[in-house]
Structure 1
């Protein structure tokens, strides 16, 4: 009980915000995680976890039955749910993937703007535990466990400064990574190698061109970035 009480107290105790210069340096470091190809090949797995988790949450909220989630070593993933093959629930489920990292980043920025760095990290850890029970392959299991171990280590052993820097870096990574994956999606579509992408599945369901849905993903992600910057006091 003392341990749980200590965790709860650390979650609700706000931290002072990072100095503006330190905040921008942290965001720059996160940008490198997204922009440098050799690094992005590894860090993109984090975006895939959130992407597939977004599909899973949307499927559950729309009344579909979540059958499981697979994460693959090539940074792709697959979320399987059962229910009506058409209709609003399926549309909502498909829309959630490419917007989930930015929406989560926006929520994280809202918490950070109020000083709840540690609270954010523990909430993310809980989300990973809930996701873990839906994973249906070994690589996916390993990916989620590694992500959870990193977040736990920072939450439990990190100093307040380390926790604040890590929380901001993770938030910026989610927001910037969301934008990059949408751009990668359209690049793959333009090459004709993404016929089963979320955008093209939405196009077949709604009879609205896939490029429209790519635009929707991008608009949502950009809006989240803009709002997050305000929550963090960067603009």
Structure 2
């Protein structure tokens, strides 16, 4: 079916807005345990961290646009690092909000995903992720980043169109759990590096802007992510807490 066929667009809309039955607590808990293994296992964490980095840079980009900055580029690298470049006033609340948004974005997106899943809107969640991926493609300026987003977007598109409802639910819940569980880990790793880390991290830049120590910024961001994790867990699996 052609993508410019009104019937095709109607079918896309029907799939994206369909309500699915919320899985039982055992299913939700099982996907949460699997996500925890993916986040904690040394063999899988680098693969999990890359999409977390994508969300991190997307968080910077969205807030940069909202506070009136000019977004120039996003770079994603094979070592799971990323860089978002924007132009605008180098100080002030807007700059602080933009810098803080990166580490907060995975937990915030995870909470949003949890709310959609709890309402039976798992397919809608996947389509929204696809739209976010497409939007980021407009700003990514390196080949590795473009390929990463294309492969990720293609995977989500194929999943929403061809996979069984069970497979769609498994992936949707895994994504939500991974975002929530992975959000605190980069900050914990940052605390572990101590004085040996480079002084270009978001907390270090926030410290220079606000004169609040980088350690305190790291702890505040970590506390916010842990609060986000609790919120997400109570939304996805209210019987656990």
Give TM-score scaled by structure 2 length.
Answer: 0.94
Match of residue 154 from structure 1: 159
Match of residue 209 from structure 1: 213
Structure 1 unaligned blocks of 5 or more = none
Structure 1 residue 23: deviation in Å? 1.1
Structure 2: how far apart are the matches of 1:196 and 1:8?
Answer: 43
Q: Could you tell me which of 41, 50, 66 is aligned with 1:45?
A: 50
1:118 aligns with 2:123: yes
Q: Could you tell me which of 38, 54, 59 is aligned with 1:33?
A: 38
Alignment of 1:14-29 (within 5 A): 14-29=19-34
Alignment of 1:182-221 (within 5 A): 182-188=187-193, 190-221=194-225
Structure 2: how far apart are the matches of 1:58 and 1:152?
Answer: 26
Match of residue 234 from structure 1: 238
Structure 1: how far apart are the matches of 2:40 and 2:237?
Answer: 24
Deviations 1:112-156 (A, max 9, x none): 010001000001100100001100100111111111122112111
Match of residue 101 from structure 1: 106
Q: Could you tell me which of 92, 103, 106 is aligned with 1:87?
A: 92
Structure 1 residue 163: deviation in Å? 0.9
After alignment, is 9-18 or 167-176 more displaced? 9-18
Structure 2: how far apart are the matches of 1:137 and 1:60?
Answer: 21
Structure 2: how far apart are the matches of 1:136 and 1:66?
Answer: 12
Q: CA RMSD in A?
A: 1.1
Question: Is the 8 Å Cα contact of residues 28 and 236 (structure 2) preserved in structure 1?
Answer: no
1:63 aligns with 2:51: no
Structure 1: how far apart are the matches of 2:180 and 2:234?
Answer: 13
Deviations 1:72-116 (A, max 9, x none): 111101000000111111101100000100000000001001000
Q: Could you tell me which of 137, 141, 158 is aligned with 2:142?
A: 137
Aligned residues: 234
Structure 2: how far apart are the matches of 1:130 and 1:113?
Answer: 26
Structure 2 unaligned blocks of 5 or more = 1-5
